[in-house]
Copies of this chain bind each other. A is one copy, B any other.
């Protein structure tokens, strides 16, 4: 799933940190493709970040190439099996 160098994990930092991170990787680090990844409640945020980056900052330069959703199962602190959803949004330069 792509180069880790060009993966952005979405968490609780300020929204624009992530948008700037994505935009900068395309513009100053000449990335061709970036994968935005998030889990659980941060999935909505990942979509917002992809939308703002591609439509407000990189219009006609970068677009959504693919979107994948999946689940991860793990044991929580109490030893219960829990499931969390994940998303990967692949952004790609259009030329």
Q: Once the chains bind, are B69 and A89 in contact (CB under 8 Å)?
A: yes
| Nearest-neighbor residue (CB-CB) of A84 within chain B | B48
What is the CA–CA distance of A83 and B18 in the complex, to the nearest angstrom? 17
Q: Chain A contact residues (Cβ within 8 angstroms of B): what range?
A: 20 to 34
Interface residues of A in 58-72 (CB under 8 A from B): 64, 67-71
Task: Give A16-43 as 1s and 0s: 1 = Cβ < 8 Å from B's Cβ atoms.
Answer: 0000000000000000000000001111
Show 6 residue pairs from A and B whose CB-CB distance is below 8 angstroms, ordered by the A residue.
A43-B43, A44-B85, A50-B69, A51-B71, A52-B83, A55-B71
7 further A-B contacts with Cβ under 8 Å, apart from A55-B71, A67-B67, A67-B69, are A41-B44, A43-B44, A44-B85, A51-B71, A51-B83, A52-B83, A69-B89
